[in-house]
Amino acid sequence: MLYDVIVIGAGVTGSAVARELSRYETNVCVLEKCEDVCEGTSKANSAIVHAGFDAAEGSLMAKLNVRGNEMMGDLAKDLDIPFKRNGAMVVCIHKEALDGLKDLYNRGIANGVKELKILNRDEALEMEPNLSENVEGALWAPTSGIICPFELNIAMAENANMNGVDFRFNTEVEDIKKGEDGNWHLRTNNGEYVARYVVNAAGVYADTIHNMVSADKIHITPRRGDYCLLDKTVGGHVKHTIFPQPTNLGKGVLVSPTIHGNLIVGPTAVDIENKEGNNTTAAGIDDLIAKAGDHVRNLPIRNVITSFAGLRAHESHHEFIIKEVEDAPHFIDCAGIESPGLTSSPAIGEMVGGMMKDMMGLKEKANWISTRKGVKKTEGLSVEERNALIKENPAYGTIICRCESITEGEILDAIHRPLGARSLDGVKRRTRAGMGRCQAGFCSPRTMEILHRELGIPYEKITKSGGKSNIVLERTKGEVSGS
Amino acid sequence: MKTYDIVIVGGGPAGLAAAVAAKEAGNDSILILERDHELGGILNQCIHNGFGLHTFKEELTGPEYAYRFIKQVLDLGIEYKLNTMVMDIAPDKTVTAMNREDGMFQIPAKAVILAMGCRERPRGALNIPGYRPAGIFSAGTAQRLVNIEGYMPGREVVILGSGDIGLIMARRMTFEGAKVKVVAELMPYSGGLKRNIVQCLDDYGIPLKLSHTVVDIEGKDHVTAVTIAEVGPDRKPIPGTEERYTCDTLLLSCGLIPENELSRSAGVTMNPVTSGPVVNESLETNIPGVFACGNVLHVHDLVDYVSEEAKRAGQNAVKYIADGCKEAEGANVIELCATDGARYTVPSTINKDRMDDLLTVRFRVGDVYKNSFVSVYFDDERVMHNEKRILAPGEMEQIILQKKKLDEYPNLKKITVKIEKE
């Protein structure tokens, strides 16, 4: 089948582009090498909607960050995903660095960030009593927010899919050639795909994909960041997102509540070569814990429930590369999408959608669906609301994940929806089942039972996250024949 | 929804024994709420034997032991609800629970018995570096997969932590044809029972490496190898001691955490050492009429002691209701302290007016002590001095206090349990 557009990568960038393209009369396909959306950089980051004072003045990064931040409120409403502008503070702990805070303020103003304010020590401590004793001042950015990166990514992809975009999972692009027909021919492990236009949203692999079609090579460095996620009981240790002052390696180790009420600490920044190297290291975690304590006092780090690492797709100029490749017409790069990539994703989608509309002469669909309903959540419902739901569907009366109080009804919803969950991680990212303090110890056998029953996947084929991540190997020897 | 005098949260060994004792003590208005689809709790997946030596003087499997109590619950006509999750316990003892048949419902109870058990410490809480692939299980999850679901997680196994479930699973996986390559334990001593080390590791030639931990996990999709290293006295890995084991499964048996989220939200005061409620001689928490027993109170080594403790909780709940649901009088309260190697005591206080003739005080030690003494002081006077050939953190210890002995000390304020060299 000939597609008008193939998007490579179903992370936040690819999904945002796909959603914007789904507004138009054009056929679009997203190719994703993993078994689900949100499997790379998009799944392991700080989950912050940055205000936009970090990026260099006049850069595309600055423009898209601020625009993405502006768009996020309405988008979160349209896509039924939780989002909160909790505000961020960049905390200065050395008197001699106070000028740096002023520079950051000025850059933010130049970038168009609204409501920025410099706070003195007392004002900062009043707003955030658990800041370090050493605080000298802080930059206050009330437009900064927290979001669930999984839900943002999943929601954009689902919405694109509802509007006719095809998604092909477990499909890895191995080579791209311009055919004699003038179209792009993409060789994958699942056969050949042909498209008039290609959008490269391959995250840490954006250089590999780009370099398949262009003589003007780019290099993406995976910049690994370790994180610790802390229990909800200490989620209120700080109310705002607390940053140190930035360095040339990035925004530094932040401490922030998450949208779901945990506390997140991270990331470190280590440049590596392995694009799959998202392993945590002892040194990384130690470094993280040491640095996080500089700006926040009494950090309850022993309440950690999990640690993880993410890879930022760092391009040496620290700038988003979003343009048609000069020596490869009809091939559009979205490369170097590192932080603030999550924040910028809606704006990247808007920008690429607009570019392609003009390039391709696209017409808007009459019946484009702009909204999507998320997995129906039961947390916080009143007794009456719960009982109404249980009466309608008794599965909402069975708790599967004890730690996060996730019902069977929510898991069924996550499985039976556009681009539904196929694995334990797929269920986890759509419902939070398994994301709590026991880290799926109790619920994984139950969730496996549901995946087996609903999708007919044999137990041995149920995976954690696709590929070879099978949970169990085989039947025990004690199986009774016919059982 | 029907109302009940006593709501028991959890239908495992603690909840069952508490229910039976409460019924036998004369209360007919008891409800057990169990989140799983059968009574018995974790015992159902403990298919090995060794349960019940103290209680029944015979060696039973976990399900057999559980059934002894389930049968009594059934014979006595005690009510229970399965597949029912308790969502909240209010400070006024209103229990909110939910299941698919009844929906969400509330029971204003006169007494609540906390019997929720415990959960395993997950990989995340241990901050083990490396990848996060499939093939990493807490030992109890693997036990459920093998014994209840009937599936093998893998064929080549490394185990971190020498808690009892890990030791049992080393043997269980071996029975099922897997190769258990090593058990690594961070501490210089095992966290499990001596008998389990002998019967589950030594008998099968499985090496136990004390003062070792996992320093790397390899495998992007699925575990392919695990590296362990020796740790120094600071429990930090010693460079150069790394040993790499190819494997497809990593089991974790690194400690159990009492599941007290409901207790905390009810306002129950916690003991930071046990992560369980602070209780008095009646196993009653700071909230009058809320009792705790079993692994939610403190992690036990033997289920027999859980049953014994739960029986007292059940009896005391009935007594509390029979006495008119009154708050315990504040007078004559003696504080119990654990020092010098004793980590905690359960209970934490004794109201002499309410104590039985004999009171069992349970505790654990924080290190291995050879040829030492368990001493008990009444204020500054040593009144007990029991020689012990060995004391180990994996084994629960107990002392028995006699009411008549306490009566000899009318001004007694504090009882201290210590480990002494001589």
Q: Residue range A434-458: average pLDDT? A: 95
Share of residues in chain B with pLDDT > 90 (%): 95
Share of residues in chain A with pLDDT > 70 (%): 99
Q: What is the pLDDT of residue B153?
A: 96
**Residues of chain A contacting B100 with CB distance shorter than 8 Å:** 390, 394-398
DSSP assignment letter at A55: S
- CB spacing of A469 vs B134 below 8 angstroms: yes
Nearest CA in chain A to B147: A476
**Residues of chain B contacting A308 with CB distance shorter than 8 Å:** 132
- CB spacing of A477 vs B176 below 8 angstroms: yes
Mutation site, A476, A480, A481, A483, interface B, largest B CB count within 10 A = A476
Q: What is the pLDDT of residue A248?
A: 79
Q: Residue range B331-353: average pLDDT? A: 94
Quote the tokens at residue B27.
């209360």
Is there a contact between A453 and A417 (Cβ–Cβ < 8 Å)?
no
The string of DSSP codes covering B57-121 is SS-EEHHHHHHHHHHHHHHTT-EEESS-EEEEE-TT-EEEEEETTTEEEEEE-SEEEE---EEEP
Quote the tokens at residue A251.
């925004």
Beta strand segments in A319-364, E = 321-324, 331-335
Is residue B416 predicted with pLDDT exceeding 90? yes
Q: With cut-offs at 50, 70 and 90, classify the pLDDT of residue B330.
A: low
Q: Residue range B306-315: average pLDDT? A: 98
Instruction: Give the gap in angstroms from C-alpha B301 to the nearest C-alpha of chain A.
Output: 21
Distance CA B60, CA B48 (A): 8
- CB spacing of B151 vs A463 below 8 angstroms: no
Is residue B147 predicted with pLDDT exceeding 60? yes
Q: What is the pLDDT of residue A479?
A: 54
Instruction: Give the gap in angstroms from C-alpha A281 to the nearest C-alpha of chain B.
Output: 5
Query: How many Cα atoms are found within 13 Å in the side-chain-facing hemisphere of B106?
Result: 11
CB neighbour list of residue A256: distance below 8 Å, 6 or more residues apart: A46, A47, A48, A86, A88, A146, A238, A240, A241, A242, A263, A264
pLDDT tens digit sequence for B36-76? 999 999 999 999 999 999 999 999 999 999 999 999 999 99
CB neighbour list of residue B236: distance below 8 Å, 6 or more residues apart: none
- CB spacing of A229 vs B124 below 8 angstroms: yes
DSSP assignment letter at B186: S
- CB spacing of A476 vs B146 below 8 angstroms: yes
Of the candidates B131, B151, B154, the beta carbon closest to that of A476 is on B151
Instruction: Give the gap in angstroms from C-alpha B402 to the nearest C-alpha of chain A.
Output: 40
Per-residue CA distances from B389 to B300, B370, B373, B374, B386 (Å): 21, 6, 9, 11, 10
- CB spacing of A438 vs B151 below 8 angstroms: no
Give the alpha-carbon dihedral of A219, A220, A224, A229, to 10 degrees: 180
Of the candidates A304, A398, A473, the beta carbon closest to that of B155 is on A473
Q: Measured over all CA atoms, what is the biggest interatomic distance in chain A, rounded to whole angstroms? A: 76
Residue B224 burial (10 A CB sphere; 0-12, 13-18, 19+): middle
**Torsion-angle region of residue A307: left (phi > 0), alpha (psi -120 to 50) or beta?**
beta
Phi, psi of A27 (to 5 degrees): -100, 130
Q: With cut-offs at 50, 70 and 90, classify the pLDDT of residue A285.
A: very high
Quote the tokens at residue A175.
């080579």
**Which of A3-12, A101-110, A294-303, B108-117 has the lowest average pLDDT?**
A294-303
Q: How many pairs of residues across A and B have Cβ atoms under 8 Å apart?
A: 147
Q: What is the pLDDT of residue A247?
A: 84
Of the candidates A399, A464, A478, the beta carbon closest to that of B134 is on A464
Mutation site, A265, A287, A468, interface B, largest B CB count within 10 A = A468
Closest CA to A269 of A206, A227, A319: A227
Q: Residue range B3-10: average pLDDT? A: 97
Nearest CA in chain B to A393: B100
Distance CA B271, CA B264 (A): 11
Q: Residue range A334-345: average pLDDT? A: 97
**Residues of chain B contacting A268 with CB distance shorter than 8 Å:** none
SS3 A201: coil
Nearest CA in chain B to A442: B141
- CB spacing of A476 vs B237 below 8 angstroms: no
Is residue A478 predicted with pLDDT exceeding 70? no
The residue type found at A281 is T
Of the candidates A276, A390, A459, the beta carbon closest to that of B103 is on A390
Is residue A196 predicted with pLDDT exceeding 50? yes
Closest CA to B39 of B61, B70, B17, B79: B70
SS3 B162: coil
**Residues of chain B contacting A304 with CB distance shorter than 8 Å:** 124-125, 127
Phi, psi of A279 (to 5 degrees): -90, 145
Instruction: Give the gap in angstroms from C-alpha A334 to the nearest C-alpha of chain B.
Output: 26
Quote the tokens at residue A80.
């039924």
Mutation site, A307, A382, A472, interface B, largest B CB count within 10 A = A472
Distance CA B305, CA B308 (A): 5
Is residue A482 predicted with pLDDT exceeding 50? no
pLDDT tens digit sequence for A7-24? 999 999 999 999 999 999
pLDDT tens digit sequence for B379-410? 999 999 999 999 999 999 999 999 999 999 99
Nearest CA in chain B to A405: B87
Distance CA B39, CA B34 (A): 7
Is residue B331 predicted with pLDDT exceeding 80? no
Nearest CA in chain A to B264: A233
Mutation site, B84, B127, B175, B216, interface A, largest A CB count within 10 A = B127
Q: What is the pLDDT of residue B368?
A: 95
Give the alpha-carbon dihedral of A374, A377, A383, A386, to 10 degrees: 70
**Residues of chain B contacting A387 with CB distance shorter than 8 Å:** 103-104
**Residues of chain A contacting B99 with CB distance shorter than 8 Å:** 397-398
DSSP assignment letter at B191: S
Of the candidates A437, A438, A472, the beta carbon closest to that of B153 is on A472
Share of residues in chain B with pLDDT > 70 (%): 99
- CB spacing of B222 vs A470 below 8 angstroms: yes
Summary mean pLDDT of chain A: 96
**Residues of chain B contacting A306 with CB distance shorter than 8 Å:** 122-125
Summary mean pLDDT of chain B: 96
Q: What is the pLDDT of residue B1?
A: 75
Is residue B159 predicted with pLDDT exceeding 90? yes
Distance CA B363, CA B416 (A): 12
Mutation site, A170, A379, A442, A450, interface B, largest B CB count within 10 A = A442
User: Which residues are bridge partners to B361 per DSSP?
Assistant: B399
Q: What is the pLDDT of residue B291?
A: 98
**Residues of chain B contacting A467 with CB distance shorter than 8 Å:** 220-221
The rounded radius of gyration (Å) of the Cα atoms in chain A is: 23
Instruction: Give the gap in angstroms from C-alpha B277 to the nearest C-alpha of chain A.
Output: 17
Q: Residue range A179-193: average pLDDT? A: 97
Q: What is the pLDDT of residue B327?
A: 83
Q: With cut-offs at 50, 70 and 90, classify the pLDDT of residue A483.
A: very low
**Active-site residue numbers of A?**
50
Instruction: Give the gap in angstroms from C-alpha B138 to the nearest C-alpha of chain A.
Output: 7
Is there a contact between A18 and A116 (Cβ–Cβ < 8 Å)?
no
Is residue A441 predicted with pLDDT exceeding 60? yes
Nearest CA in chain B to A289: B127
